[in-house]
Amino acid sequence: MKLKLAIQKSGRLHDDSIKLLKECGIDINNGVNQLKTAASNFPLEVFFLRDDDIPQYVEDGVADIGIVGENVVMEKNKQVQIVEKLGFGKCRLSVAVPKTMDYTGVADLDRLRIATSYPVIVEQFLKKNNITAEIHEISGSVEIAPGIGLADAICDLVSSGSTLFMNGLKEAEVILKSEAALIANKGLNEAQQQLLQKLLFRIQAVKKAKN
């Protein structure tokens, strides 16, 4: 029996996910242009997927566990267990407005058009703050939306803030702080749970050694 782990096929979390496995003493060959691979020295099979699909695969049990940003876990709203935060892929999901706007607080978002790839999280945030705004879901290059007249504000992932700055925007509200997390299917059997514990034990040791 092998534990099935889903990681990002390519993108910001790919390299650090592979690196974490290596640091845990698990040898796999790098999987760009490849759907899956098996570890040679641990009962682990690694699937390479788009990050957006990982929560669904883990909920369904196609993968037993996965590595994905907390932001994606929250947006997808799937029934998965967050097992451990992994300390990489750190970013925040923030509302940004034009630099020239005189922003004083969330109430200023009322009646605006907000472009985002995170409609579920933004909707929850607006509701919690009693704000009525129009959410425009777009899948990429969200930061250019205000400049082309598509929206008045955006909600997007930020790390340094330089992308916002280059597009004439400023960070107005942090909705969520996020990092990569290890998630697991909620119905793992005894043997799968034991393997997960073994992996988790190694991950925690790696994290400890870094502090």
Q: Which residues of this chain interact with Zn ion, rule CB under 5 A?
A: 51-52
Listed residue (87, 66, 74, 64) closest to 16, CA to CA: 87
Total residues interacting with ligand ATP, rule: CB under 6 A: 15
Sign of CA dihedral 124, 129, 134, 135: negative
Q: Nearest-5° angle of CA 43, CA 210, CA 195?
A: 20
The DSSP symbol for 50 reads -
Contact 89, 157 (CB under 8 A): no
Residue 89's binding partner out of Zn ion, ligand ATP, none, with CB under 5 to 8 Å set by partner kind: ligand ATP
What tokens does 155 get? 């909600």
Torsion of CA 109, 156, 145, 105, to 10 degrees: 20
Least distance between ligand ATP and beta carbon 138 (Å): 13
Q: Which is nearer to ligand ATP, 11 or 61 (CB)?
A: 11
Which positions from 80 through 139 interact with ligand ATP, judged by CB under 6 A? Answer: 89, 91
Q: Which stretch binds ligand ATP (CB under 6 A): 20-28, 47-55, 165-173, 190-198?
A: 47-55
Give 17 or 192: the residue with its C-beta nearer to ligand ATP. 17
Q: Of 169-198, which residues contact ligand ATP (CB under 6 A)?
A: 178
Residue from 51, 64, 143, 152 in contact with ligand ATP (CB under 6 A): 51
**Matching residue, tokens 């034991």:** 194
Tell which one of 69, 115, 118, 122 touches ligand ATP (CB under 6 A). Answer: 69
